Amino acid sequence: MDYVYGPGRNHLFVPGPVNIPEPVIRAMNRNNEDYRSPAVPAMTKTLLEDIKKIFKTTTGTPFLIPTTGTGAWESALTNTLSPGDKIVSFLIGQFSLLWIDQQQRLKFNVDVIESDWGQGANLEMLASKLAGDTAHTIKAICIVHNETATGVTNNLAAVRKILDYHSHPALLLVDGVSSICALDFRMDEWGIDVALTGSQKALSLPTGMGIVCASPKALEASKTAKSVRVFFDWNDYLKFYKMGTFWPYTPSIQLLYGLRAALDLIFEEGLDNVIARHNRLGTATRLAVEAWGLKNCTQKEEWFSDTVTAVVVPPYIDSSEIVRRGWKRYNLSLGLGLNKVAGKVFRIGHLGNLNELQLLGCLAGVEMILKDVGYPVKLGSGMAAACAYLQNNIPMIPSRI
Amino acid sequence: MDYVYGPGRNHLFVPGPVNIPEPVIRAMNRNNEDYRSPAVPAMTKTLLEDIKKIFKTTTGTPFLIPTTGTGAWESALTNTLSPGDKIVSFLIGQFSLLWIDQQQRLKFNVDVIESDWGQGANLEMLASKLAGDTAHTIKAICIVHNETATGVTNNLAAVRKILDYHSHPALLLVDGVSSICALDFRMDEWGIDVALTGSQKALSLPTGMGIVCASPKALEASKTAKSVRVFFDWNDYLKFYKMGTFWPYTPSIQLLYGLRAALDLIFEEGLDNVIARHNRLGTATRLAVEAWGLKNCTQKEEWFSDTVTAVVVPPYIDSSEIVRRGWKRYNLSLGLGLNKVAGKVFRIGHLGNLNELQLLGCLAGVEMILKDVGYPVKLGSGMAAACAYLQNNIPMIPSRI
Amino acid sequence: MDYVYGPGRNHLFVPGPVNIPEPVIRAMNRNNEDYRSPAVPAMTKTLLEDIKKIFKTTTGTPFLIPTTGTGAWESALTNTLSPGDKIVSFLIGQFSLLWIDQQQRLKFNVDVIESDWGQGANLEMLASKLAGDTAHTIKAICIVHNETATGVTNNLAAVRKILDYHSHPALLLVDGVSSICALDFRMDEWGIDVALTGSQKALSLPTGMGIVCASPKALEASKTAKSVRVFFDWNDYLKFYKMGTFWPYTPSIQLLYGLRAALDLIFEEGLDNVIARHNRLGTATRLAVEAWGLKNCTQKEEWFSDTVTAVVVPPYIDSSEIVRRGWKRYNLSLGLGLNKVAGKVFRIGHLGNLNELQLLGCLAGVEMILKDVGYPVKLGSGMAAACAYLQNNIPMIPSRI
Amino acid sequence: MDYVYGPGRNHLFVPGPVNIPEPVIRAMNRNNEDYRSPAVPAMTKTLLEDIKKIFKTTTGTPFLIPTTGTGAWESALTNTLSPGDKIVSFLIGQFSLLWIDQQQRLKFNVDVIESDWGQGANLEMLASKLAGDTAHTIKAICIVHNETATGVTNNLAAVRKILDYHSHPALLLVDGVSSICALDFRMDEWGIDVALTGSQKALSLPTGMGIVCASPKALEASKTAKSVRVFFDWNDYLKFYKMGTFWPYTPSIQLLYGLRAALDLIFEEGLDNVIARHNRLGTATRLAVEAWGLKNCTQKEEWFSDTVTAVVVPPYIDSSEIVRRGWKRYNLSLGLGLNKVAGKVFRIGHLGNLNELQLLGCLAGVEMILKDVGYPVKLGSGMAAACAYLQNNIPMIPSRI
C-alpha cells in the first residue's frame, strides 16, 4: 500500500486535504474510547468554545458534524430553509457550482448570479436584486468566501454592507471551506448567519469533520425550516448540548483529539499570525507566477486568494500534464483545473500548517515542470521573486525567539 | 488531554466504538494525500471489491460514506424510498427506535411492529401484515439485525422466508451496524436489498465511515426514489465510480488505509474464524452472567447476541453505578442501559478485534464491580464458567501454528 | 511483518520489555530532530532533573546512555573500578550470573557469594567478609536488587546497614533493572553509589536507554578508575553537561520525548502510588499461584518480588511448553525459565504501566494453559483468590475521582 | 514539549539524524514485544541477510548493536585489536579526530596521518608507511569513508589497492557512518574488514542501532584480540546466532521493525538508484554553493561528498549565526561547523530519505539566510543553478511510471 511511495516526502500542494502537522498526527494516534465517559464531553466542551474563536464569533453556535464540506453545506441549507424558498447564490467556479447544484436538488428556488470563472461575486447584481425585493421574498444569500477552483476571494464585508443598506433580512450563508482559519474571517462583525468549513482544509486535520457555526438568527430559522433532515439536524445536537453529553451519534475520537491539538497549535502561533502567514505564502506564490510570465486565473487583485492560486497555462500546454508530471517525477501534488478551466489552469494550494521553505520547494518543482512541458521559463526566476519578498517579511518563529 | 489516563490500558467494552488493532492504528498514522492522484483510486478499487466479501455479496454495490451509522441509515432510506411510502419497521430497543424516529422524520409512513425490549422482531406480525398486503403497498421492511441496546439478534433468514412465502416485493433494509463482520451475515443469500454498518463497530476502525451495500433491486429503486438527498445520494457515487475516480467529495485518506489494514487482518484470520471467535466471546460472557446468577436482558436463546450482552441487575442496584465504577476504579468501559432499560441493565460489548483474555479481564472487572455495588457475587464464579468453556474451545492462532 | 498478529491485543507479561502506554507511544511517534538545536538540551535538562526523583536521589548524577541494561552494567563497573580490583558479587539467578560473568571478563577479582536460585543474597556471608576485610581490599559490592530470573528482591537497606556497621568504604553498585520505578528504591537513603535501570522495564519505554545514576563518591572514583572505556565513559558526558549541550554523541530523539511522557505519567500517578500498584499486582499474582497449588520459586516471603513471579511447575510438566502455548493459543507472552530453572519455572512479569484487569486476563490465561498441559487446576480458583484481594484494595483512579 | 514547534514542517538538513520516512515512522509505532517469541528471531534473520546487501558483502557477518556510531567504532576496534597494537589512522576532520581519540584511549598505538581539514586522507603517506612496514607491525588501517565535518569522501578502493600492492595484511576498518547506503560502498570488493554505520544516517531511522559488519578475517582476529569488552563483544552475538535466538540482550523491537521497513523502501527504490539520488542531491547542492560565490570546504572535486556539503563563509560572517537564524526564522536545521572550522563553515546534510524538492526548499532557505547575515547573494541564483541541473537529471519515480 505504501509502495507508490517516492523517495522523500510527498509535497502536498493541492488545496485540500492539506498537510497535517506532526503534533496533530501524534494526537490522533490512539485507540477508540467510550464517548459517553466523562472525559469526552469535557473535551468537547473546550472544542466548542475554542472553535468559535476561529470563526470570530461569540454569539454563534458551533456544530462538529461527522461529514465533509458537502455535508456541511447541506447542514447549513436544510436547517435554515424550506423547500421552495428563494435564495440568491453566486456562481463563480466549480465549488460554488456544486453548492448551487445541491441547493437546486434540495428544492430551493435558486436565483443564480453568475460571473466569469476568475472573477468574484457580482455584488452590483446582488444590490439590484435586493433593491427590487421589497417584499423580502429572498430568504438567503449563499456565497463561497473563497472559490477553491479559481483562487478567488469574495468580499464578505461588502456583502453585509449591501444587505444592511437595503435592510434586507435574508440570511447570509457562507462557505468558508478554504478560507476559515487562513483568511480574515469575522462571523459576528460581518453578520454571517451560517459559516462552515471542513477539517481537512486550513485546520490541517484529516477529512471527516464538517464544522458549521450558526448565528442566533440562523438557530431561530431552524425552528421553522421545513427541509427534511435528520442526520444533519441541528436540533438533535442542541438536545444533547443541553444534556451535556454533546453527541447525538458517535463522533470520531481521533478527530476530537486532533482538533484539540490543531487548535492548540493555532492559538500558540496566534490566529492573526496564521492569517498573516497565509498572506505571505499567497503573495510569494503570486510573485513567482508573475516572474514566470504566467497569468493568475484570478482577474483582479482585490480577489486574490491567499489559500490557493490557480495558474493559467498557455494554450499549447495541457495543465493536467503539469499535475501528472508533478506526481510522477517530483513527488509534488498540485491541483487540477476543474470543469470550465480543466486543462487550462493548475492550482497551488498554500493553506494550512505550511511554511515558506515548503512553498519554495513546491515553486522550484513547478518551475522545473514548466520547463519539462515546454514552457520557456527562466529557471530560478520565480524563486528569486518569491525569496526577495519573503526574505524581507518572514518573522522570527515566536516560540524560538 | 491524556490525563484522565489511568495506569495501564483502558479496557474498552462498550459495544462501539471498539478497540482498534495496532496494525490499523499504524496504517492510519499518516499525513493527508491527494485523493485525485492515481494511488487513491487504485486502493479504493480494492476496498470496494473486498468490502463485498464482508457482506457476502457479489451482486451488491458498496458505498463508503464519510458519515456515521445514523447517516448510513439515512442513505439507505432516502435512496430507495419516496416520502409517504409505507414501510414496516420493527421496534425492539433503542437503536431500532432511533431508526424509526428517523424514518418518520423523513416522512415515510411507518407501520411499527413493537416487541418488548429483550425480545426479537415479531415475525408472526410481519407475516400477517404481508399476507394482508396483496396490493403491495408496503415498500420496505426495515429491521435491525442486532439490537445493540438489548443484545438481541434477529433472524434475517426467517424474514426473507416470509417475504418469499408471500412473494412480496418489498425491499429488505437491514441495519447491520453491530452485526456485520461479527455475526453470520449473508446479503445475497438472504436477499437483503440494503445492508449497512459503521467503521467503528466490528471492523474495528475509528468512527467516520458509513458502509452501505445496495442490491441491484435497491439500485433500481434509487432511480425513482423521490426522497430529497444530495450528500447521501448514491448516484453521485455511481457517477464517479464510472469515471474511475470514485469519490464525489473528499474521503478520509486515513480511514481508507485503515480499512485496507482492517480487511487484511480479517482475511488473514478468515471471516468464518472471526465469526466463530465472536460466538466464543458471546458464549463465554453468557456463561459468566449465568454463573453470577444474573439475567440476560435477551429473553430467549434464539436471540442471544454474540456481539453485545445486556445484563439485568437486581432492582436494588442502579446499573449506571456499575458503569461509573468501571471507569473510575478499574479503567473498564462498559455500556450504559439506554432509555427503557436505563438503570436496569449494563452492557458488555464483545465485538471487533478482541480476544478471550481481554474479555476475561473485563469479566473479572465486572465481578469485582458487582461486589462493590452490593451484589452477592461469588468472586471467581463467572471466570470459572467462562474459562471452562473457553479452555475447550479456543483454537490455535493460525499464523502461529 | 505484522502477520503473526493474533486477533486482539498481545498480552505481554514477560518481565521486560513491558507494555508501553499509549501516551508514550504517541510521544515517540515523530521524525528525527537536530539534537544540537536549543530545544533538545532544554528538554534534556528536565529529564536529568526528573529522573533523579525516580531514583530518590538529590545528590546523584544521572546518565542516559544509548544502550541496554548490559551496557548500563558495564558503565557502572568500568567508571568506578580498575582491573584487578576486588569486588564482592552475589549470585542468585541468571541476571546476577550474567553480571558476574561481565565483571570477570572486565578483569575484576570477583568474590562470588552464591545462593540457591530462589533465595536472596546471603548477607551473613557479606557481613563476615566485610568483617574480615579490615584492609579494605574490597572495592565494591555488586548486587542485583531484583533478580528477574527467580523473582527475588534483595534487601538493600540491610546491605547498607552491614557496610555501615563495618564502616567499610566499598562502593555499593546496584542493578535496579527490574526494580527502579516499581519497587521501593532509595538511592540516597541506602547509600547506593551506582544504581542503574533500563528504559524497557518499569519505565515502560522501548529498549535503548540505559539509565545510570552515580553518587558523588562514585563520581570521585571515576576520576581514578583505570578500566578502559570510551563509549561508556562518564567523563565525556560530564564535559558536555558543563557545556550545556549534554550529549557526547547522538541520542535517540524519540526516546527522549518518550521518557518525558513516561515521567509525566509516573508523576501524575505519583511514584508512591506506582509502587503501591506494583505491590497489589505482585500480591494478587502470588495469591493466584497459591490457589493453583503451585510453588513460588522465591523461597521466602521476605524476598517476594512485586515485579516478577517465577512459578515452579510440577516435575511432569515442561514450563517451556506453558510459554509456547501462551503464545500460540492465547496471545499471551510469559517469561521462560532460564538456565538452572529452565523447564522448571515460567515467569509472569507484572511491572510497568499495567493495571489489575490486564493482570487478571493474564492469570485467566495461565489457568487455562495449566489445564492444557495436564495440571489439575481448578479453573477460576486463581482468579477468585486474586479478585478477593484486589476488590478490597484497588483505589479509585486519581484523575477520575 | 512540542511548543517550539514552528508552523509547517521542520526542514532537517543536519548530516544526521536525518528525516525518517513516514512508512518507517509507522512501522515503529508499536508496543513492545517478547523478543524471545518465534516472531522476532524470524524477522531478525531477514534483517541480517538484507543488511549485508547494503554493505555489498556476502561473506561479512553483521551485528545490529543497541548503540550509536561511537559504540560501533568501539565494537570494531575492541573485537579485532589488542592494547598496544599499532594502527594507522587518518585525521581529516572532527569525526576522524574523535575516532582517533577513542583509539588512543583504548590503548592502541596510533600512527596518525593528518591532512588539512577539507582534504582527503593522505594516501601517499599510507603507501610509504606500508612500504616501510615489512615486519607487518601495523595491525590495522582506520579510515573514515566520509568525514561528516568537512564533507570529504575518501577513496577506499585506492586504500585497498595500496594495501594489496604492498601485500600488507593489516585489517581495514572503515567508518561508513555517513556513507553506507548513500555513497558507493563495496565491502567485499574493497576488502574491508570491518565496516560500520549508524541507524540515524542514510538508513533514515532513529538513533540507537550501530550496524557493524565483519569480514571473515576480522572474525578470525576477534578470536585472539585481547581488548577487554563485554557489551560490544561479537562472540556473545555469535553464540546467540548459533542458537537461532540472535540477541545476547534485549534489542529495540521498534528499531527492528523500523529497519525492516527502511530496507524494504531501499530495495523498492533500488540501492543503485538510492546512490544515484544522493549524487544528484550532492551535485545540486554544490552547484548552488558555486552560484552563491561561496567555497566548498572540500578542497578537491575527487573528495566531494554526496551526503554532506560544508560551505565556507566569508571571514566577516559567523557561520553559527547562519545555523541559528535557520532555526529561529526558517524552521531550517543546518549543521554547525565543528572544532577547527567552527564559525567558518556551516553544513548542509543531504542524505537519507530525501528528495530534490526538499533540498531546494533548504537551498532557498540558505539563500535568504545568507542575505540576512549580510552576504551579497543574488537571490534565486543557487536555485537556478540547482534546478538547471536537476531538471535534466531527475528520473521518474519508479513506482509511479
Residues 6+ apart with CB under 8 A from C263: C47, C50, C51, C54
Residues 6+ apart with CB under 8 A from B226: B82, B83
**B1 assigned to some structural domain:** no
Q: Do B39 and A4 count as a contact with CB atoms less than 8 A apart? A: yes
- The answer for A 4-43 residues in CB contact with C (under 8 A) is 22, 25-27, 29-31, 38
Q: Looking at the complex, report in whole angstroms how far the Cα of residue C325 sits from the nearest Cα belonging to chain D.
A: 11
Q: Looking at the complex, report in whole angstroms how far the Cα of residue D397 sits from the nearest Cα belonging to chain B.
A: 13
Q: Which of D267, D301, D329 is the last residue of a domain?
A: D267
Q: Looking at the complex, report in whole angstroms how far the Cα of residue A13 sits from the nearest Cα belonging to chain C.
A: 21
Q: Looking at the complex, report in whole angstroms how far the Cα of residue D351 sits from the nearest Cα belonging to chain C.
A: 13
Residues of D in contact with B26 (CB under 8 A): 26-27, 29-30
Are residues B332 and B227 both part of a single domain? no
Instruction: Kindly identify which residue of chain D lies nearest to residue B25, measuring between CA atoms.
Output: D29
Q: Do C361 and B365 count as a contact with CB atoms less than 8 A apart? A: no
At D78, which CATH number? Answer: 3.40.640.10
SS3 state of residue A194: strand
Residues 6+ apart with CB under 8 A from A220: none
Q: What percentage of chain C carries pLDDT values higher than 70?
A: 99
Are residues C168 and C253 both part of a single domain? yes
- Which residue, C396, C381, C290, is CA-closest to B379? C381
**D276 assigned to some structural domain:** yes
Instruction: Kindly identify which residue of chain B lies nearest to residue D38, measuring between CA atoms.
Output: B400
Identify from D9, D26, D254 which residue to disrupt to test chain B contact, counting B C-beta atoms within 10 A and taking the largest count. Answer: D26
- In the predicted model, what is the mean pLDDT of chain D? 97
Beta-bridge partners for D152:
D147, D304
Q: Which of B212, B235, B267 is the last residue of a domain?
A: B267
Q: What is the pLDDT of residue D6?
A: 85
**C1 assigned to some structural domain:** no
Residues 6+ apart with CB under 8 A from B125: B113
Edge-to-edge strands, sheet with C61-65? C61-65, C210-214, C194-198, C171-175, C138-144, C86-91, C109-114
Instruction: Kindly identify which residue of chain D lies nearest to residue B31, measuring between CA atoms.
Output: D22
Are residues D147 and D278 both part of a single domain? no
Q: Do D250 and C69 count as a contact with CB atoms less than 8 A apart? A: yes
The answer to whether C108 and C132 are in contact (CB under 8 A) is: no
Q: Looking at the complex, report in whole angstroms how far the Cα of residue A362 sits from the nearest Cα belonging to chain B.
A: 15
Reported ipTM: 0.97
Q: In this complex, how many residue pairs, one in chain B and one in chain C, have their CB atoms less than 8 Å apart?
A: 192
Sign of the dihedral through C-alpha D304, D55, D215, D69: positive
Q: Looking at the complex, report in whole angstroms how far the Cα of residue B139 sits from the nearest Cα belonging to chain A.
A: 20
Residues of D in contact with C253 (CB under 8 A): 17, 206-207
Q: Dump pLDDT digits (tens) for A48-70.
A: 999 999 999 999 999 999 999 99
DSSP string of B138-151?
A: EEEEEEESEETTTT
Rounded CA-CA distance B390/C380 in Å is 12
Which residue among C8, C328, C394 sits closest to B400, beta carbon to beta carbon? C328
SS3 state of residue D232: coil
C1 band by pLDDT with thresholds 50, 70 and 90: very low
CA C324 from centre of chain: 24
What phi and psi values does residue A353 have, to the nearest 5 degrees?
A: -80, 90
Q: Do A29 and C30 count as a contact with CB atoms less than 8 A apart? A: no
Rounded CA-CA distance D75/B313 in Å is 65
Q: List the chains bordering chain A where 3 or more Cβ pairs fall under 8 Å.
A: B, C, D
Instruction: Kindly identify which residue of chain B lies nearest to residue C30, measuring between CA atoms.
Output: B29
Do you find a cis peptide bond into B251, omega within 30 degrees of 0?
A: no
Q: Dump pLDDT digits (tens) for B163-194.
A: 999 999 999 999 999 999 999 999 999 999 99
- In the predicted model, what is the mean pLDDT of chain C? 97
User: What is chain B's Cα-based Rg?
Assistant: 21
Half-sphere exposure of C61 (CA within 13 A, CB side): 18
Q: Dump pLDDT digits (tens) for D74-88.
A: 999 999 999 999 999
Q: Looking at the complex, report in whole angstroms how far the Cα of residue C234 sits from the nearest Cα belonging to chain B.
A: 34
Q: What is the pLDDT of residue A2?
A: 53
Which residue among D8, D368, D401 sits closest to A354, beta carbon to beta carbon? D8
- Which residue, A225, A69, A249, A86, is CA-closest to B230? A69
A1 band by pLDDT with thresholds 50, 70 and 90: very low
Q: What angle do CA B80, B81, B84 make, to 5 degrees?
A: 180
Residues of A in contact with B69 (CB under 8 A): 249-250
Q: Do D328 and A397 count as a contact with CB atoms less than 8 A apart? A: yes
Neighbours of D160 (CB within 10 A): 17
Residues of D in contact with B399 (CB under 8 A): none
Report, as an integer, the average pLDDT of A113-140. 98
Q: Which of A232, A267, A302 is the last residue of a domain?
A: A267
**C2 assigned to some structural domain:** no
Going from the C-alpha of D321 to that of each of D16, D317, D325, D334, D347, the distances in angstroms are 20, 8, 6, 11, 13
Q: Looking at the complex, report in whole angstroms how far the Cα of residue A334 sits from the nearest Cα belonging to chain C.
A: 24
The answer to whether A128 and A290 are in contact (CB under 8 A) is: no
Are residues C102 and C189 both part of a single domain? yes
Backbone conformation region of residue C240, classed left if phi is above 0, alpha if psi is from -120 to 50, else beta? alpha
> Does residue D104 sit at the C interface (CB-CB below 8 Å)?
no
Q: Do B328 and C396 count as a contact with CB atoms less than 8 A apart? A: yes
Rounded CA-CA distance A262/D38 in Å is 41
Instruction: Specify the residue for cell string 547494503.
Output: D54
Q: Looking at the complex, report in whole angstroms how far the Cα of residue B161 sits from the nearest Cα belonging to chain A.
A: 32
Are residues A132 and A120 both part of a single domain? yes
Q: Dump pLDDT digits (tens) for C120-145.
A: 999 999 999 999 999 999 999 999 99
Binding site members of B for substrate? 347
Are residues A116 and A214 both part of a single domain? yes
SS3 state of residue B333: strand
Instruction: Kindly identify which residue of chain B lies nearest to residue D37, measuring between CA atoms.
Output: B400
- Which residue, A307, A362, A5, A17, is CA-closest to B32? A17
Q: What is the pLDDT of residue A3?
A: 60
Provide the residue range defining the domain that includes D26. 22-267
The answer to whether A105 and B228 are in contact (CB under 8 A) is: yes
- Residue type at position A77: L
Identify from B12, B32, B63, B347 which residue to disrupt to test chain A contact, counting A C-beta atoms within 10 A and taking the largest count. Answer: B32
Which residue among C22, C38, C400 sits closest to A30, beta carbon to beta carbon? C22
Q: What is the pLDDT of residue B2?
A: 53
Rounded CA-CA distance B22/A224 in Å is 47
Number of domains in chain A: 2
Q: Do A207 and B248 count as a contact with CB atoms less than 8 A apart? A: no
Which residue among B2, B387, B400 sits closest to C6, beta carbon to beta carbon? B400
Q: Looking at the complex, report in whole angstroms how far the Cα of residue D168 sits from the nearest Cα belonging to chain C.
A: 29
Q: Do C26 and A29 count as a contact with CB atoms less than 8 A apart? A: yes
Rounded CA-CA distance C83/C369 in Å is 48
pLDDT at D260 over 80: yes
- The answer for D 325-384 residues in CB contact with C (under 8 A) is 327, 333, 336
Q: Dump pLDDT digits (tens) for C14-58.
A: 999 999 999 999 999 999 999 999 999 999 999 999 999 999 999
Which residue among A7, A277, A361 sits closest to D277, beta carbon to beta carbon? A7
Rounded CA-CA distance B392/C1 in Å is 30
CA D205 from centre of chain: 13
Q: What is the pLDDT of residue A401?
A: 82
Q: Do B30 and D27 count as a contact with CB atoms less than 8 A apart? A: no
- The answer for C 139-168 residues in CB contact with D (under 8 A) is none
SS3 state of residue D55: helix
Instruction: Specify the residue for cell string 439490537.
Output: B147
Q: What is the DSSP letter of D7?
A: S
**D203 assigned to some structural domain:** yes
Going from the C-alpha of D25 to that of each of B264, D20, D254, the distances in angstroms are 20, 6, 9
Q: Do B1 and A257 count as a contact with CB atoms less than 8 A apart? A: yes
Are residues B127 and B184 both part of a single domain? yes
Q: What is the pLDDT of residue D2?
A: 53
C-alpha grid cell for residue C356? 489489575
pLDDT at A152 over 50: yes
**B214 assigned to some structural domain:** yes
Q: What is the pLDDT of residue C4?
A: 76
Report, as an integer, the average pLDDT of A23-46. 96
Which residue among A34, A200, A251 sits closest to B333, beta carbon to beta carbon? A34
Q: Dump pLDDT digits (tens) for A186-220.
A: 999 999 999 999 999 999 999 999 999 999 999 99
Are residues D294 and D360 both part of a single domain? yes
Encode A165-177: b = buried (16+ Cβ within 10 Å), e = exposed.
Answer: ebebebbbbbbbb
Are residues A144 and A50 both part of a single domain? yes
Residues of D in contact with C37 (CB under 8 A): 327, 333
Encode C43-80: b = buried (16+ Cβ within 10 Å), e = exposed.
Answer: bbeebbebbbebbbbeebbbbbbbbbbbbbbbbbbbbb
Sign of the dihedral through C-alpha A110, A111, A114, A120: negative
Which residue positions in chain B have pLDDT lower than 50?
1
Q: What is the pLDDT of residue B1?
A: 46
Edge-to-edge strands, sheet with A308-312? A295-296, A308-312, A345-349
C3 band by pLDDT with thresholds 50, 70 and 90: low
Q: What is the pLDDT of residue B3?
A: 60
Going from the C-alpha of A22 to that of each of B158, C311, D50, the distances in angstroms are 51, 45, 31
Question: Per this entry, what is the length of chain D?
Answer: 401
Which residue among B12, B67, B336 sits closest to A32, beta carbon to beta carbon? B12
- Which residue, A208, A213, A211, is CA-closest to A254? A208
The answer to whether D230 and D90 are in contact (CB under 8 A) is: no
Residues of A in contact with D397 (CB under 8 A): 4, 6-7, 328-329, 331
Residue ranges with strand state E in C241-364: 295-296, 308-312, 332-333, 345-349
D5 band by pLDDT with thresholds 50, 70 and 90: confident
User: What is chain D's Cα-based Rg?
Assistant: 21
pLDDT at D221 over 70: yes
**D3 assigned to some structural domain:** no
The answer to whether C43 and C53 are in contact (CB under 8 A) is: no
Element (H, E) at D265: helix D253-269
Which residue among C22, C30, C38 sits closest to A22, beta carbon to beta carbon? C30
- Which is more confidently placed, C6 or A12? A12
Are residues C289 and C227 both part of a single domain? no
Are residues B50 and B158 both part of a single domain? yes
Residues 6+ apart with CB under 8 A from A394: A280, A356, D329, D330, D368
Q: What angle do CA C9, C15, C21 make, to 5 degrees?
A: 45
Q: Do A250 and B18 count as a contact with CB atoms less than 8 A apart? A: no
C-alpha grid cell for residue B264? 487484511
What phi and psi values does residue B62 have, to the nearest 5 degrees?
A: -90, 150
DSSP string of A314-333?
A: PTTS-HHHHHHHHHHHS-EE
Q: Do D9 and A355 count as a contact with CB atoms less than 8 A apart? A: yes
At A331, which CATH number? Answer: 3.90.1150.10
Are residues A112 and A228 both part of a single domain? yes
Report, as an integer, the average pLDDT of C160-170. 98
**A4 assigned to some structural domain:** no
What phi and psi values does residue C332 have, to the nearest 5 degrees?
A: -115, 125
Q: What is the pLDDT of residue D95?
A: 98
